[in-house]
Structure 1
Amino acid sequence: MGRYVEVEKDVKLYVEDIGAGRPVIFVHGWPVNHRMFEYQYNVLPKYGFRCIGIDLRGYGKSDAPWSGYDYDRMSDDIAVVADTLGLLHATLVGFSMGGALAIRYAARHYGRRLCGIVLAAAAAPVFTQRPDFPYGTPVEQINKSIAGLYTDRPKTVADFGMTFFAKPISDPFRTWFNGLGFDASSYGTIKGLESLRDEDLRGDLANVQLPTTILHGKLDAIAPYALAEQMNKGIQGSKLVPFEQSGHGLFYDEREKFNQELLNALGGK
């Protein structure tokens, strides 16, 4: 069942609500939308979980305002959705940029309405390299991608998709997955990537006071495994689960393991 939630004046987010039971909020990565979690939505409701997939502003079926693509505003959007739906004891599952937003939400909103978070291939604590942070992607590489979005967005998104999975995928699957990125607004795509480049969550890690499971591919060419190790060090009591055969798209590279570890984190199997 789909619905729209107004998160600020004249800005509505699309929310897919599937199944019944304890809520699990899914936050997608850049530049796709909630539909990337199709292979989780097919499974979790069987175990008594209610899957709530949010399209972030600028992506999927949500409104695409000109502004508001910083992590504070986007985490506030998630909070409004959780409040509007009256969710309690929810687990927030964030993938890539969505993982960064899960960290910001947990720190900024003191874990309100949550009982835990799952960080899947999270683009955190910092996605790009800094003088005091040698991990992540060089800023110059991100700037090149941003320039590409201004000149040939479909090719830039498709090129990004080529580095996503460590295992072979079918041509129809690649077409479908790239299409999720093509559905995003052009300026939302640009501004989201600018936030990935510029945001810094190192100060948030110590303020995450929730049970935290980190799922990360050892072969991730987009958010290197070293980022997972940094999150694991910074979030007290967090559990790091390596995916030896996965790239960034661990939710599909090792689909069965991912679903099992997700259920383990949820206490559902």
Structure 2
Amino acid sequence: MGNYITAHDGTSIYVEDVGTGDAVVFLHGWPANNNMFEYQKNALLEAGYRYVGIDYRGYGKSDAPATGYDYATMASDVHMVVDGLGIKDFTLVGFSMGGAIAIRYAVDFPDDGLKKLVLSGAAAPVFTQRPDYPYGMTQAEVDALIEDTLKDRPKMLEGFGEIFFEKEHSKPMQNWFHHLSLVASSHGTIASAKALRDEDLREDLPKVNVETLIIHGVHDKICPFEFALEMEKGIPNSRIERFEESGHGTVLDEMDKFNKTLLEFI
């Protein structure tokens, strides 16, 4: 069933909440929505878990205000959902940008009942290169993505999708995944890209105080595998699960392995 939770600034955040067992909360990637976890949801429900999928502000069925697309505000939205639904002792799964938001949440709200953390292809600790951080896209490359979004968002999304997966997926599957991003708000897509470009979580990693599983595709062209190594170095109780046949989209490239790994961890 679907719920709407009101954020601090009045924004309505859409949540898909299905099942009755222990809760697993999912944070999607840029610029999709919680439906990207369709095949994880099915596996969790079959195993008796509760699936809680959040659409960020600006994405999916949530409201799309003009502001609030920084990690701290998005993490606050997650807190309002967890609090509003009374979720305790849960696992949080953050994919790509959702991984960065999940880290921000784990640090900002350590008393919310978070039990375990899964970071899949996380856009963390930093998405763009710095003088002392040579990994990921350059800030100029993200600026170009933003410019392309302003000119032809569907074409930008198509190009982004071409580097998302390592394996070949059916055309209908590719179209479905592309559509998830098309329904996002344009201004939310742009504002979130600026957050990806500018934010830095390196000092936050040591403050993550829950057991953390880092799932990362070795062929990831969006969040290079070096990101996983940096997260493992920084997060005290963490380990990496290498996905040898995956690009960025581990949830589909190695769907069965992803689901099995997730179920074993939680």
TM-score interval, smaller chain: over 0.9
Could you tell me which amino acid in structure 2 is paired with residue 232 of structure 1? E
Q: CA deviation at 1:10?
A: 3.0
The code of the aligned residue for 1:179 comes to: H
1:170 counterpart residue number: 170
Seen in structure 2, the aligned counterparts of structure 1 residues 156 and 111 have a Cα distance that, compared at 3 Å, is farther
Q: Which amino acid aligns with 2:141?
A: Q
Alignment of 1:194-209 (within 5 A): 194-209=194-209
2:133 alignment counterpart: 133
Match in the other structure for 1:90: 90
Unaligned runs of 5+ in 1: none
- Once the 2 structures are TM-superposed, how far is the Cα of residue 110 of structure 1 from its aligned partner? 1.6
1:35 alignment partner in structure 2: 35
1:51 and 2:51 correspond = yes
Alignment partner of 1:212: what SS?
strand
Superposed, 1:211-226 pairs within 5 Å as: 211-226=211-226
Q: Deviations over 1:46-65 (max 9, x none)?
A: 21210000000000000000
Q: How many residues align?
A: 266
Q: Which moved more, 1:75-84 or 1:6-15?
A: 6-15
CA drift of 1:111 comes to: 5.1
Report the Cα distance in structure 1 between the residues aligned to 2:114 and 2:45, rounded to whole angstroms. Answer: 18
Instruction: In structure 2, list runs of 5 or more residues that go unmatched.
Output: none
Q: Give the Cα–Cα distance (whole angstroms) in 1 for the partners of residues 145 and 111 of structure 2.
A: 33
The corresponding residue for 1:15 is: 15
The one-letter amino acid of 1:244's match is E
Q: Distance in 1 between matches of 2:178 and 2:158?
A: 6
User: What corresponds to 1:60 in structure 2?
Assistant: 60
Please list the CA deviations of residues 194-238 of structure 1 after superposition, one character each: whole Å capped at 9, or x if unmatched.
Answer: 100101000110000001000000000000000000000000120
Per-residue CA shift, 1:138-170, capped at 9, x if unaligned?
A: 111111100001110111011101110000011
The two structures have a TM-score, normalised by structure 2, of 0.99
Shift of 1:135: 1.1
The answer as to whether partners of 1:111 and 1:209 remain within 8 angstroms in 2 is no
CA contact (8 A) 2:124 2:231 kept: yes
1:15 deviation in Å?
Answer: 0.3
Structure 1: how far apart are the matches of 2:215 and 2:111? 19
Q: Secondary structure at the match of 2:242?
A: strand
Amino acid at match of 2:146: I
User: Are positions 1:110 and 2:110 aligned together?
Assistant: yes
